[in-house]
Structure 1
């Protein structure tokens, strides 16, 4: 009987340690520098973030073509915001987490987008950003510092409000 309660006590202590550990910082936090990463775009060109877009305010959106929670219409909507604010230094960056297949017809609807569309085939960059669910979006300022984060889906107005506060 004593051995059994000893194991229970040990299990309870381990659960408490794990619970405390899980509530600590996970992923990027506001005021953290963005990770330095390199990813291919859908044409095979490597883009280095945030260096290649230094001096720009970035809205980095992690999503997946197969994600049922990701609003695919948000990507064309971000194009409209890009056109509206690009002269002020705003650039959205869409990062698809998963395997890209250019033969998949579902990609056709995104061909007209002019902002960076990158591919994180193995999810390594998403992990470096601390993404635990998709979609997740980050606003990174002109110096490469995280200034905002939205976990889950949001409306276009929320995105615009978030990045324009950093842009201005």
Structure 2
């Protein structure tokens, strides 16, 4: 399949996702200052993980992305590992949330299995819809009490994420 056709198919899928997320709902999603809803997602081993649940008391960076998303930087998922190692003693925990179904044998996913922070699957986009994700990637920063402090729609460099994370860690 030609590169142009792949890009076109991804663009059409992206527009459809945005249409589904935005089309019929007046729900704006979670707003800054609101608490994270309780939710369960599946990790890569098939185990259910409660959010905030076992992550309660942590400053969480939830990163919504998809393997098929050309706009989602896999490099940032690796860079979040650096931030995790740097700030985990302050209670920081990044969580990568994969949207849609995927194959555990996918080479793109295998490259990320060395990450020491959780990767969870939101295969029906239920949490994404609750939070108001309208595009991928989208990143949420929650304080240790589970309150939304920041939301980044789209891509940014790791320094921008760190700059927005530090004030939440300092509280």
| Secondary structure at the counterpart of residue 147 of structure 1 | strand
Residue 51 of structure 1 and its aligned partner are, at CA, apart by: 2.0
Distance 1:70 1:35 in 2: 25
Distance 1:115 1:126 in 2: 19
How many residue pairs are counted as aligned between the two chains?
Answer: 147
1:71 corresponds to which of 70, 73, 86: 73
- Per-residue CA distance 1:16-45 (angstroms, 9 max, x = gap): xxxxx98x7611111011111100111112
> Which residue does the alignment assign to 1:47?
49
> Which residue does the alignment assign to 2:59?
57
Distance 1:58 1:48 in 2: 13
Root-mean-square deviation (Å)? 1.5
2:72–2:136 CA contact under 8 A, matched in 1: yes
2:27–2:132 CA contact under 8 A, matched in 1: no
Residue 100 of structure 1 and its aligned partner are, at CA, apart by: 2.2
Q: Write out aligned runs for 1:80-99 (5 A).
A: 80-99=82-101
> Which residue does the alignment assign to 1:13?
none
> Which residue does the alignment assign to 1:116?
118
> Which residue does the alignment assign to 2:36?
34
- Per-residue CA distance 1:37-75 (angstroms, 9 max, x = gap): 100111112111112111110000100010111011111
TM-score (norm 1): 0.84
Asked if 1:140 is matched to 2:145, the reply is: no
- Per-residue CA distance 1:141-168 (angstroms, 9 max, x = gap): 1111000110111110111111111001
Q: 1:104 to 1:90 in 2, by over 3 A?
A: same
Distance 1:122 1:25 in 2: 17
1:101 corresponds to which of 98, 103, 112: 103
Distance 2:31 2:64 in 1: 16
Show structure 2 runs of 5+ residues with no match. 1-23
| Secondary structure at the counterpart of residue 111 of structure 2 | helix
